[in-house]
Amino acid sequence: MSAITKLTRELSFKEIKKTLNTRQAMIMEALRDRPRSTARELALYLWEQRKIPSPERNYTHPRLTELVEDGLVKVVDKKRCPITGKMVAVYELASDPVIEQGELEL
């Protein structure tokens, strides 16, 4: 990935982050660090970083649903949860939003 692409991706993320609530922003940052994660995996990751009080998936799943509805996160796969044995969704960030020409500040 080129330096310009990395810069525009970072600027796009910073712009979107302003409109998110705290937990949504934490989840998007976690997905940047750990793409293709389940709600439980994200909860465990955020709990290990001491950002949420429990590794329970209910701390992340409702916000993931909102982010999917807003088009900021997408479901890309499914896999079996090692704890419950059920099939669960795998999430990643959606494509970067388009920055209108003239909005990019370098």
Confidence band of 11 (pLDDT split at 50, 70, 90): low
In a domain, 106, yes or no: no
pLDDT at 89 over 80: yes
Torsion over CA: 22, 28, 29, 30 (sign): positive
In a domain, 11, yes or no: yes
52 close to 104: Cβ distance less than 8 angstroms: no
The pLDDT score that the predictor gives to residue 62 is 93
In a domain, 105, yes or no: no
- Give residue 12's domain range: 3-93
Distance CA 75, CA 92 (A): 7
In a domain, 74, yes or no: yes
pLDDT at 102 over 70: no
Q: CATH number of the domain at 61, please.
A: 1.10.10.10
**Which residue in this structure is represented by tokens 């999917």?**
68
pLDDT at 103 over 50: no
Per-residue pLDDT tens for 27-80? Answer: 999 999 999 999 999 999 999 999 999 999 999 999 999 999 989 999 999 999
88 close to 78: Cβ distance less than 8 angstroms: yes
Domain count, the chain: 1
Has this prediction a pTM greater than 0.75?
no
